Amino acid sequence: MFYQCNKNYFIHCYCVTDNYVFLVESPFSNNFNCKLKYFHKEDINKNVLNLQLTRNKASVTFPNEGRNSTVIKSIHLVNVPNLKKGNLEICHFLIINKGNAIQICSLDELILSVAETGVTSDTFQQWEITNVNVSITSIYAQGYKDNTIIVTYCTTMSDIVQFRYDIHKKHFQKIKLSIPLSNIKDQIMDSIINISGIQLGINYPSIENESLWSTLSSSQIMTISSADNTIYVIVNDKLEKLPIKYYTEGVNFDNSNNNDIHDGQLVWSDVVVVKKYTKVTKVYVVANVTNIGVILFKRSKDGFWDKVCTFKKRNAITEREKEEFESNALIDCKIYLRQDLNVITVLSGSESNHLYRWDYNYIDETIIDHQIYEIDHLINDDEDNGGIPSSPVYCISANCKKQIFFYLETTLALII
C-alpha cells in the first residue's frame, strides 16, 4: 500500500497514528508552498493522487509568510489529557518543525478552520528562534496532566532548549534544562542530529497513557545523537555516553578523505526500553553508521554499555566496490518493542532502495529473523503503477500496530 504525490510534487515529512496518516508535500518548483494532507490509513492505495476535503481526509495549505517562509522539516502528533466537567478527554495537537520555528495547533481547531474560515497564521501558535544562522534539527514532544506540552529541541549549533506550552492559555514558557540535558549541552562538540524519547506502545513497555503523561522522558529515557559520533543517553536522570568509534575497529572517523570507503559517520540513533523496574531499566540503543551498518547496544544491570552485534547491510564494506561507499546522512534507523514475543525489531533504510529488518530476541539474545525488502520491486511491479524511480529509503516510522512506514521522496509506503 502506498500514497504517491501528484506529478512534480514531493514529500517533506509525515507522521502516523494507528489509523491516520499526516504528510507535508510541495511542488519541486516551490518547496515553500507546502500542503498538509491527512487521511485515513485505509485510503492509502495506488489510486490516491489528489486528496480532497471530506470528513476523513483533507488538504491544508500553510499560510504564505513571504520572506519568513521556510521548508517544513518534520511534523509530530501529541496527545494531551484534559479534564473537562469531570470527564477525561484526549486532545490532539500537531507540532511542526519549520527549522527556524516550532508551530503548535489543536488538530480539532485546524480541521474546523479548514471547513469554515480557512487556515490563517492565527491557526498556529509559534515559538521562534532568533539566530538566523541556527536551524532546528530535531524535536521531541510530550503531553502532560497539567494541560501542557513540553517540547525539547536541538539545533545545528549544538544547542538544546525546552519549553512548555499551555494548551488553554496558548502560552509558551522556556523552562530550565534537567541536569542530564544541561550536561549534554555543555559537553557536545558538534551539530545535533536527532533526539529520541518515549513513544507508548512502540519503544516503552506500557500501553497506558498514564505512563507517558506522568513520565518526563528527558529525565527518564532519551537519546541525543551528535555529528561528533557520540550518542548521549539519559537513563533514570543519569547521563551516559556511547562514543561510536570505541565500539568499531578499522574504521576512519576523521572523514578527512571523502573517497575513503572506510569513513564512518553516525547518522541516526533510536532507543527502546524492554523492562522497567523501580531501580533498573533494561535499555537497548541502535545506531546507523555509514559504511558499517546498524549497531545494537545493550545497557547492563550495572549501567555499562555493551555492543550486542552489528547488523550488516547488503552494501557493507566487505561486500561493496570502492566507488559504492555510503555518504547519505538521511538514512535513519528505528527500533520498536514487541513485548508479547520478547522481541525488538530493528529497521533501517539504505541508499540502494532497500529496507532492512532484523528481529532480535532479547531473552535468548539471538537474531531470529532478517528481511530485505526490495522497495523498487515491491512498488514498480504493481501492474497499475506507472513506475517509481529508485531513490534512498528513509524516514522510517512504526505505529502501535507495528505497521511500518517509510518514504522515497515522492511516495509514502506501508508494509503490513
CA distance 322 to 106: 50
Instruction: Provide long-range contacts, Cβ within 8 A and 24+ apart, for 321-325.
Output: 322/261, 324/261, 325/259, 325/260, 325/261, 325/263, 325/290, 325/291
CA distance 4 to 11: 9
CA distance 138 to 134: 12
Per-residue confidence (pLDDT) for residue 71, from 0 to 100: 75
Per-residue confidence (pLDDT) for residue 407, from 0 to 100: 75
pLDDT in tens, 368-394: 999 998 876 655 555 444 555 567 888
Classified as helix, coil or strand, 220 is helix
Q: Which of 226, 249, 251, 250 is nearest to 239 (CA)?
A: 226
CA distance 59 to 61: 7
CA distance 224 to 205: 21
CB distance 396 to 345 below 8 Å: no
Residue 223 CB: number of other CB atoms within 10 A? 24
Classified as helix, coil or strand, 75 is strand
Per-residue confidence (pLDDT) for residue 260, from 0 to 100: 46
Question: Between the CA of residue 227 and those of 25, 35, 194, 285, what are the distances in Å?
Answer: 28, 31, 10, 17
Q: Report the residue count for the chain.
A: 416
Classified as helix, coil or strand, 269 is strand
Classified as helix, coil or strand, 351 is coil
CA distance 158 to 82: 34
pLDDT band at 86 (very low <50, low <70, confident <90, very high): confident
Classified as helix, coil or strand, 300 is coil
pLDDT in tens, 129-177: 888 888 999 999 998 888 899 999 999 889 999 999 999 999 999 999 9
Per-residue confidence (pLDDT) for residue 250, from 0 to 100: 59
CB distance 413 to 405 below 8 Å: yes
CA distance 297 to 306: 6
Taking the model in full, what pTM does it have?
Answer: 0.86
Classified as helix, coil or strand, 39 is strand
Q: Is the pLDDT assigned to residue 60 strictly greater than 70?
A: no
- State the residue for C-alpha cell 522481541: 343
Cross-strand bridge partners of residue 355: 373
Give the Cα-Cα-Cα angle 140, 234, 368 (nearest 5 degrees): 85
Classified as helix, coil or strand, 416 is coil
Classified as helix, coil or strand, 378 is helix
CA distance 22 to 20: 7
DSSP string, 153-176: EEETTS-EEEEEEETTTTEEEEEP
| Cell numbers that stand for 74 in this block | 518534520
Q: Which of 34, 38, 18, 29 is nearest to 412 (CA)?
A: 38
Pairing of strands 281-289, 266-276: antiparallel
Per-residue confidence (pLDDT) for residue 64, from 0 to 100: 53
Cross-strand bridge partners of residue 404: 398, 415
pLDDT band at 316 (very low <50, low <70, confident <90, very high): very low
pLDDT in tens, 1-53: 577 777 888 888 888 887 788 888 888 888 777 788 877 766 654 333 333 33
| Cell numbers that stand for 296 in this block | 545494537
